[in-house]
Structure 1
Amino acid sequence: MSSGNSEGKDPAGRIVVSDAVLKIDSFLNQQVDPDLMNEIGREFAARFASESITKVLTIESSGIAPALMTAMRLRVPMIFARKKKSITMQGDLYAAPVYSYTKQEVNEVTVAKKFLSVNDRVLIIDDILANGAAALGLAQIVEQAQAKVAGIGIVLEKSFQEGASKLKEAGYRVESLVKVASLQNQQIRFLEDVPVKG
């Protein structure tokens, strides 16, 4: 898919910041498109319909919109891991370190223990999959609760980075709605657009 101009902006409002960073704040990361989120929720719910999901888990803040719409479709609660502890969150927490590639920092994300139990089958939803740190951190939290990671749903996977491979090698089912093969030369190329060799 062509970027459309030298700034790397395409008609959908996505902006290629570098060969590794895609800015999607016009419909997901800051401004949210409700109709798109509704369709994303419908698709994730359909893909994981047979998994007997009891909770949907995400990380604040960009994962909240697609996770909430997915939870609504599945008719289960949605939980989000916090990046900063509030004064109302003391003790009784599951926690995991998560490195943010775009912010170049490590956050200890937390979920109150009362929201996850050993009987839960948890669907993890996140906006972007790059190196897999966020999804792996959320999976650690689920496993600390001795609950089951039933699957991981990703809105946009950067397939040229190692996140998807890491998650699959760890034994998790990963479903990505969009797979980006490359952001080189200010162009967004989707995986289905890349010829398969052999």
Structure 2
Amino acid sequence: MEKLKERILSEASILSSDVLKLDGLLNHQVDPELTMEMGREFARLYAEERITKVITVESSGIPVAFATALTLGVPLVFARRKKTLIADPDALTERVPSFTKGIVTDIMVSRQYLMPQDRVLFIDDIIANGDAARGLIKIIERSGAQLAGLGIVVEKSFQAGARTLREQEIRVESLVRIASLEGGKITFA
């Protein structure tokens, strides 16, 4: 997606050789038109996979996951990071570290929204080390649902997350792959 690459080059901030700030595109502000384009691209990539649900982790993955689910005509489920008073006490839960937040949180999905007959597409904004992805994949597996693959907006390919998932023979489709942030410069793979 050349348009996405152009927007990243013009709007992203490099905070370190490991951290890219994408607040103007994904994490604080959302461009609805670009988000719909990304959702249509993921829907195209997974069109033959008989997807029954799209899943993501709150909160930054929700807009692109919504656009994908809308295009595919299926429900969107998102894993919550905060337990509420009305949360399902029997929810599927996994403890995951967050690379960018520097904390460990529990992610949870109510069992009623992931069924063994579901074929799930996992959409996320950025993959670095892949901890959140591995946590949500464990939840999907425990539910009995089948993971069709992952759609990642920005893959930091210099970190191990996507590579380790591919090594497990999990399909990972990334719209943009960043090879390096060294020297304060974004280098695409």
Q: Considering the TM-score relative to the shorter chain, is it more than 0.5? A: yes
* d(CA) in 2 for partners of 1:145, 1:90: 14
TM-score, length basis structure 1: 0.90
Aligned to 2:137: 139
Aligned length: 182
Q: Secondary structure of the equivalent of 1:92?
A: coil
Superposed CA offset, 1:74-110 (max 9, x none): 0000011000111110312011111101111111100
Aligned: 1:31 with 2:47: no
More moved, 113-122 vs 95-104:
95-104
* d(CA) in 1 for partners of 2:136, 2:88: 19
The alpha-carbon deviation at position 170 of structure 1 amounts to: 1.9
Aligned to 1:63: 61
Aligned to 1:6: none
* d(CA) in 2 for partners of 1:34, 1:76: 19
Aligned: 1:21 with 2:2: no
TM-score, length basis structure 2: 0.94
* d(CA) in 2 for partners of 1:15, 1:164: 22
Fraction of identical pairs, as percent: 51
Please tell me whether Structure 1 or Structure 2 has the larger radius of gyration of its CA atoms. 1
More helix by percentage: 2
Aligned to 1:122: 120
Which runs of 5 or more residues in structure 2 are unaligned? 1-7
More moved, 97-106 vs 154-163:
97-106
Aligned to 1:180: 178
2:10 to 3, 9, 12: 12
Aligned to 2:158: 160
The alpha-carbon deviation at position 11 of structure 1 amounts to: 5.6
Superposed CA offset, 1:3-62 (max 9, x none): xxxxxxx76210000000000000110000101100000000000000000000000000
* d(CA) in 2 for partners of 1:96, 1:149: 17
**Cα RMSD after superposing both structures:** 0.9
Match of 2:69, as an amino acid? A
- Deviating above 6 A after TM superposition, structure 1's stretches of 4 or more consecutive aligned residues are none
* d(CA) in 1 for partners of 2:30, 2:161: 24
Map 1:66-145 → 2, pairs under 5 A = 66-145=64-143
Which runs of 5 or more residues in structure 1 are unaligned? 1-9, 192-198
* d(CA) in 1 for partners of 2:9, 2:173: 26
The alpha-carbon deviation at position 140 of structure 1 amounts to: 0.7
